[in-house]
Amino acid sequence: MKKIFKLLFLSLFIITVSSCDNEDMELLTISAKGSGEITAPETGFSQILNPEEEQTNTALTLTWNPADYGIPTGITYNIEFAKEGTDFADAYVAGSTSNAAYSWNISELNGAAVNTGLAPFVEGGIDIRIIATVGSLGSTPQTTGMITVYITPFTTDLPTISVPGNHQGWDPATAPLLAASAFGQTDYIGYVWLTTKGDEGFKFLAPDQTGGFFWGNIDWGDDGSYEATSDGKGIGTLIENDEVNCKIDADGYYLVKVNPSDTGIDGFLQKKPMAYSTELTNWGLIGSATPDGWDSDQDMTYDVDTQTLKITLELSADHIKFRANDDWSLNYGDTGADGSLEEGGDDIKVPSAGNYTVTLDLSNPRDYTYSLVKN
């Protein structure tokens, strides 16, 4: 009987407390009452981003009035970037915060500008708006008005031109590339497998402002003055109009260079003649680790499918290098033992004796690598 009484008393207590709570509780409603507006910068703000400046320096600070939801509540602000005039069709979320301000350093703003679709080294407009939401599900969104800022982003990628031709089906998008030593330089260089198939030749093609390679971009061919020598070398002059296709005399793997000619060219925008050269290269492995030591090369074979040179042979635990045409005028070693090749670099140490497949990869201009795989 005592147990029944205790249970009855506990039930009445819970009902009473629950009733009191329901009477005292007020229903809190969150509703959108004001989106706030961007207060800085003003529309029309412009900024040229400098790759030489300290990348952690602040490049842009955005501030805005807080959104109003009628009661104090946590608010998330998503900052959207879109290419000017696109009505945020492909908006990029460039930042998210619970504060009413957000800053980007140079590196961050550069990445956001490129992701928005701006071309490097060309001023482009970015439309900016802020969307405020509440709760973990991002409910009750409110959107500010839009401002437009103008940013000139950069790229640290080396400038490139492509070499489409009969060696790869005249497809600019998949053509091998030549790279310059730095932005603003025109000393383009790279290795290209060229053929005489069909007697069609090849050309040189510049990228568009987005870095893409398409027919319709500026392209160059030979002015008809190309001269070849008996040792597989040749030199000619490139022109943009009234050109003919460039040609070589034999199939092979060529070192191709495009350099300013003596006419004073200071960049492709000048559209003046440019000198170009081709040099047939036959690569070999040489060194104290090879069967013939430093006396003669072990010839490597070019694989068209992988665009690499390979050889399988016995190596001792000693040193090797790569060189072209059985001559030391063009050779590569590995200074720093990091797998990256430098022209005239240090000898490469073979870790232990055994049978190896050695691969030389010259397909990425100015970023040459190799591998030693023990079989």
CA–CA distance, 261 with 242 (Å, rounded to integer) = 18
Among residues 289, 304, 302, the alpha carbon closest in space to that of 374 is found at 289
DSSP 145: P
Give burial (CB, 10 Å; 0-12/13-18/19+) of 110. Answer: buried
pLDDT of residue 185: 80
CB 246 within 8 A of CB 201: yes
pLDDT of residue 155: 87
- Chain centroid to Cα 337, Å, comes to 25
pLDDT of residue 13: 44
- 19: helix, strand or coil: helix
Q: Kindly list the distances between the CA atom of residue 158 and the CA atoms of 154, 155, 182, 211, 269, in Å, as whole numbers in the listed order.
A: 11, 8, 6, 11, 17
Q: Kindly list the distances between the CA atom of residue 331 and the CA atoms of 285, 290, 325, 326, in Å, as whole numbers in the listed order.
A: 10, 16, 10, 10
pLDDT of residue 27: 46
CB 105 within 8 A of CB 55: yes
CA–CA distance, 128 with 62 (Å, rounded to integer) = 10
pLDDT of residue 25: 39
The total of other beta-carbon atoms located within 10 Å of residue 11's CB is 10
Which pair of structure tokens corresponds to residue 262?
Answer: 């003596």
Among residues 97, 91, 96, the alpha carbon closest in space to that of 116 is found at 91
Residue by residue, pLDDT tens for the chain (375 residues) are 444 444 444 444 444 444 444 444 344 566 666 678 999 999 999 999 999 899 999 999 999 999 989 888 889 999 999 999 999 999 999 999 999 999 999 999 999 999 999 988 889 999 999 999 998 777 889 999 999 999 999 988 888 999 999 999 999 999 999 999 887 788 899 999 999 876 689 999 999 877 889 999 999 999 998 888 778 889 899 988 999 999 998 999 999 999 865 443 344 334 445 889 999 999 999 999 999 999 999 999 999 899 999 999 999 999 999 999 999 999 999 999 999 999 999 999 999 999 999 999 999 999 999 999 999
Which pair of structure tokens corresponds to residue 171?
Answer: 């497809």
261: left (phi > 0), else alpha (psi -120 to 50), else beta? beta
CA–CA distance, 155 with 157 (Å, rounded to integer) = 5
pLDDT of residue 164: 97
What is the number of residues in the chain?
375
Which pair of structure tokens corresponds to residue 243?
Answer: 């050109």
pLDDT of residue 273: 53
- Residues 364, 188, 49, CA angle at the centre, nearest 5°? 85
Which pair of structure tokens corresponds to residue 52?
Answer: 């030489």
